[in-house]
Every structure is written in structure tokens, then in C-alpha cells.
Structure 1
Amino acid sequence: MSTPKIAIIFYTTYGTNHAMALEAQKAAEAAGAEVRLRRFAETAPDEVVQGQEAWAAQLDKMQDIQEVSHDDMVWADGYFISAPTRYGNMPSQVRAFIDTLGGLWQEGKLVNKTISATTSAQTLHGGHETTLWSLYVSAMHWGCIIVPPGYADPLKFEDGGNPYGYSTQAGGFDETGKRSVAFQAQRLVEVTAKLAG
């Protein structure tokens, strides 16, 4: 089997999804994938970001991580996306990038890529599942193959049990969560390797 190429792409405001992306990167590389870690561009007005010390500090912390590009989307065999929920949906920063992919979609350059996603929300029931669904709906339009964790490992009964993708409360990414993200990333690599091979 060939070495699968995985783009791990995240958006974060205060750091939870950044932490999940780093855990996914470590697990995907350990599973034998070639990985590109990328972040969605921050599109919020600078005065809004700078008006919240924690948000500004997190953005500053990530300046060495490249923003995701169309080249990354074409390069990858599979995508691991981590983004928080906004009113039960993906953040506008993620949507803004997705909305630029029409040309790649029309050329069929996103077809048969794999995808798996994780999320976080401020509350226990703040749109975890619908955020993941919204990401997957876009991916279905591209012709992607969704690789959810399902209940393929007993760990899913310990981590909150979201079969669509790991989710947690903001700031609540614990050791069980790390194991769950690692499992999900490894599963994505394994399935992608089979398809890409």
C-alpha cells in the first residue's frame, strides 16, 4: 500500500481544536501517513480578535502554521478537520474557505478523498453533531468518502459516544479525548491507505 497523504486542517479560537489537530497529527504520522498540518485563515475583524486577550494570544501562537490552500486540498488523499461549533454549524472561517473550492469541485479534484472531523462547543449540547454533519454535507457534494469513528472501538463509550467524530466541551480535551482523536486519525489513515493503494 502507498503512504497516504493526510491534510489535518483546523480552526480554533482559544486552542481546543488546535490541541486536537496536534494529537491527530501525532497519531496519523505514527500510523504511517505523510501529514500536512494547516489552519483555516482567521477572517474575524482584527479589532474583534485583539479585543479578547485569549483569542489574540492563540492566533499569535499559531503564526508558524501555514494557512490551508487549494494545493493542500489537491495534494491530500484524506482530510482530518477539527473546528468548533458556531450556532450548531461550522465557523464562518471554515465556511469561507470551503466556499472557494468550487473550481476544484467542478474539476473533480476532491472526488474520492476521505474525510473525518472533530469539534467542540461551549456546552454539552451546543451543536456538536450538527457541526460535524454540516462539514460532511459539504464533503458529500465533493464526492468524499466519510470515515467516522462510529463505535469501531469500545473507547467511544467512554468519550461521550459521538459516532460522527470526537467532540468535547471547549477546554475539556482530556486523556480520554486524546485517545479518541488518535483512534479516529489512525482509522482515517488505515482506510485512506486502502483506497489510495
Structure 2
Amino acid sequence: MSKPKIAVIFYSTYGTNHAIAEAAAKAAEAAGAEVRLFRVAETAPAAAVNGQPAWKAQADKTAAIPVVTPDDMVWADGYFISAPTRYGVSASQLRAFIDTLGPVWQKGGLTNKAITATTSAGNPHGGQEATILSLYTTAMHWGAIIVAPGYTDDAISAAGGNPYGYSAKAGEFDDKGRAAVAHQARRLVEMAKKLVA
């Protein structure tokens, strides 16, 4: 059986979603997938990024990671997406990338791909569930197959109990979170394997 191809795609302003993506990539690879880690292009003005030392430091830290393209979406059999919550939806940088996918979507290039999503916000009720659900709404338009973690492992409840996808408080991605993300990534690989069998 060929390895499923998993694209781990993240946008991270200060580092939380980057850490989640790295943990997911490691777990997916250990589960038998061919994994590629991608970042979403920054769309904020350089002055805004450079004006905040923590934001600039994160941008510099991830500069060598390839920027995701529509071709990468076609390559993958499954997507693990991690991006921060902004007003109850994902960060505009991720939405801007998604808005470039129309030509691929129109050709059926996103159909029957497995997808799962994670997020972070500054407080526990900052819109994490709405963010993940909005990404899944997009996935439904693509004809993708949503792979939510549900309550399929004790790690989910231990990390806060979000059945839609792991969500972190910004800056507080801990060992319980890593265990939940690893389970979610393994589950994505398991479902992607079935889709490509």
C-alpha cells in the first residue's frame, strides 16, 4: 500500500500554530504518511510585522518553510490545517490562500481529500470551535472528507475535550495538547489511507 500524502499547513503569528503543525507532521510521519510541512504566506504589511518583535521573530523563524500553493493541495491526499482564531474565523492569511483555490476546486482537485483542523485563541471562549467549523464548511464545498477527532481517544478529553479539532490557548501548547494533536494526525493518516486504497 502506498503512503498517503499529507500536507500540514499552518499560519502562525507568534508560534503556537507552528508548534502544533510541527507536532502533527511528526505524528503523521510516524503513522506512515509522506508529510510535507507548509506555511501560509504572510499578507500583513511588512511594517506591521516588523513593528512587533515577537511577530517578526516568528516570521524569521519560519522563513525557510515552503509557502503552500494550490499545486500542493492537489499533491496531498489529506490536509492537517492549523491557524489562529480571528473574530471567530481563521486568520485572514489562511482565508486569503483558500480564496486562491477556485480553479483547483472547479476541476475537482480538492474532492475526496481528508481534512482535519486545529486552532488557537487568546482565551478558552475566543471562537475556537467556530473557527474549526468554518474551515469544515469550506471543506464541504470542496467535497473533502472531514476527519474530526471526536472523542475517539482519552487524549482529546485530557486536552480540553474539543471534538471538532484540538484548540489551544495561545502560547500554551503543552504535553496534553501534543498528545491530542498526535492522535488527530494519526486519525487523519488512517482515514487518508482508506481513501487512497
TM-score, normalised via structure 2 length: 0.99
- In the alignment, which residue of structure 2 is the partner of 1:152? 152
Q: What are the superposed Cα offsets for residues 101-132 of structure 1, whole Å, 9 maximum, x if unpaired?
A: 11011101100000001100001100000000
- In the alignment, which residue of structure 1 is the partner of 2:81? 81
Give 1:165's aligned amino acid. Answer: G
Aligned length: 197
Deviation of 1:154 (Å): 1.6
- In the alignment, which residue of structure 2 is the partner of 1:53? 53
- In the alignment, which residue of structure 2 is the partner of 1:180? 180
Q: Distance in 2 between matches of 1:180 and 1:154?
A: 8
* Residues 1:166 and 2:142 are matched in the alignment: no
SS of residue in 2 equivalent to 1:84: strand
Give 1:63's aligned amino acid. Answer: A
| Gapped regions of structure 1 (runs ≥ 5) | none
Q: What does 1:1-197 align with in structure 2 at a 5 Å threshold?
A: 1-197=1-197
Percentage identity across paired residues of the two chains: 66
Q: Distance in 2 between matches of 1:82 and 1:156?
A: 16
Give 1:112's aligned amino acid. Answer: N
Deviation of 1:2 (Å): 2.2
Deviation beyond 6 Å, 4+ runs, structure 1: none
Give 1:156's aligned amino acid. Answer: I
Give 1:16's aligned amino acid. Answer: T
Q: What are the superposed Cα offsets for residues 125-183 of structure 1, whole Å, 9 maximum, x if unpaired?
A: 00000000111111110000000100001222111000000001001100000000000
TM-score, normalised via structure 1 length: 0.99
SS of residue in 1 equivalent to 2:36: strand
Q: Distance in 2 between matches of 1:158 and 1:182?
A: 13
SS of residue in 2 equivalent to 1:149: coil
Over the residues paired in the alignment, what is the CA RMSD in angstroms?
0.6
Q: Distance in 2 between matches of 1:5 and 1:26?
A: 13
SS of residue in 2 equivalent to 1:97: helix
Q: Distance in 1 between matches of 2:137 and 2:155?
A: 26
SS of residue in 2 equivalent to 1:55: helix
Give 1:65's aligned amino acid. Answer: I
SS of residue in 2 equivalent to 1:85: strand
Q: Distance in 1 between matches of 2:17 and 2:157?
A: 21
SS of residue in 2 equivalent to 1:38: strand
Q: What are the superposed Cα offsets for residues 12-56 of structure 1, whole Å, 9 maximum, x if unpaired?
A: 000000000000010000000001100000000010011100000
SS of residue in 2 equivalent to 1:184: helix
